[in-house]
Structure 1
Amino acid sequence: MKKLGLLPRLLLGIACGILIGALTPEAVVKILVTFSGIFGNFLNFVIPLIIIGFVAPGIAELGQGAGRLLGITTGLAYLSTLIAGTAAYLVSSVVLPVLTSGYTMTAAQNPEEALLKPFFTVDMPPVMGVMSALLTAFILGLGVAALKGRSLRDVLGEFQQVVEGVIQKAIIPLLPIHVAGIFANMTYAGEVMRILTIFGKVFMLVILLHIAILFFQYFTAAAIGRRNPFVALRNMLPAYFTAIGTQSSAATIPVTLRCAKTNGVSDEVADFAIPLCATIHLSGSTITLTTCSLAVILLAGHAFPSLAAYFPFIMMLGITMVAAPGVPGGAVMAALGILQSMLGFTEAQLGLMIALYLTQDSFGTACNVTGDCAISIIVDTLAGNGHRREKLAQSPAAAR
Structure 2
Amino acid sequence: MRNVFLRWNKISLVQQIFIGLLLGIVLAFILPESATFISIFGTLFVSSLKAVAPILVFLLVLSVIAQNQNGQQTNMKLIVPLYFIGTFLAGLVAVIISFVFPVQLTLNGAPEGFTAPAGVGEVLESVLLNIVDNPVNAISNGNYLGILAWAILFGLSLKNAPSTTKTMLSSLSEAISTIVSWIIRLAPIGIMGLVFETLSTRGLDSLLGYGHLLLVLIGTMVFVAFFVNPLIVYLLIRKNPYPLVFTCIKESGITAFFTRSSAANIPVNMRLCEKLGLDKDRYSVSIPLGATINMAGAAITISVLTLAAVHTLNIDVDLPTALILCFLAALCASGASGIAGGSLLLIPLACSLFGIPNDIAMEIVGVGFVIGVLQDSFETALNSSTDALFTAAAEFRDWRKEGKSISL
2:330 counterpart of 1:318 = yes
Shift of 1:220: 2.6
Residue identity in the other structure for 2:85: L
In 1, Cα distance between equivalents of 2:297 and 2:258: 16
Residue identity in the other structure for 1:247: R
Question: What does 1:1-400 align with in structure 2 at a 5 Å threshold?
Answer: 69-96=75-102, 100=104, 105=106, 107=108, 129-134=118-123, 136-137=125-126, 152-154=132-134, 158=138, 161=141, 199-215=210-226, 216-236=228-248, 237-299=250-312, 301-322=313-334, 324-325=336-337, 330-333=342-345, 335-336=346-347, 338-339=349-350, 341-343=352-354, 344=356, 345-346=358-359, 347-381=362-396, 393=407, 398=408
In 2, Cα distance between equivalents of 1:202 and 1:125: 24
Consecutive unaligned residues in structure 1, runs of 5 or more: 1-7, 9-60, 112-117, 145-151, 165-179, 181-192
> Residues 257 and 163 (structure 1 numbering): CA distance in 2 closer, same or farther, change over 3 Å?
closer
In 1, Cα distance between equivalents of 2:122 and 2:235: 41
Q: Deviation per CA, 1:198-226, whole angstroms, max 9, x where unpaired? A: 61112122222222111221243134224
In 2, Cα distance between equivalents of 1:94 and 1:356: 21
Shift of 1:129: 4.3
Q: Deviation per CA, 1:214-252, whole angstroms, max 9, x where unpaired? A: 122124313422443222123220211100110011111
CA RMSD of aligned residues (A): 4.4
Whether contact under 8 Å (2:260, 2:377) holds in the other structure is yes
Q: Deviation per CA, 1:255-291, whole angstroms, max 9, x where unpaired? A: 2223234445333222221221111111122112211
Shift of 1:305: 2.3
Consecutive unaligned residues in structure 2, runs of 5 or more: 1-24, 26-60, 145-201
- 2:16 maps to none
Residue identity in the other structure for 1:231: P
Q: Deviation per CA, 1:33-55, whole angstroms, max 9, x where unpaired? A: xxxxxxxxxxxxxxxxxxxxxxx
Whether contact under 8 Å (2:123, 2:339) holds in the other structure is no
In 1, Cα distance between equivalents of 2:140 and 2:310: 31
Residue identity in the other structure for 2:333: M
TM-score by length of 1: 0.56
In 2, Cα distance between equivalents of 1:310 and 1:207: 20
Whether contact under 8 Å (1:238, 1:259) holds in the other structure is yes
Q: Deviation per CA, 1:172-191, whole angstroms, max 9, x where unpaired? A: xxxxxxxx9xxxxxxxxxxx
Q: Deviation per CA, 1:50-95, whole angstroms, max 9, x where unpaired? A: xxxxxxxxxxx9xx98997333222111111110100111111011
How many residue pairs end up in the alignment? 277
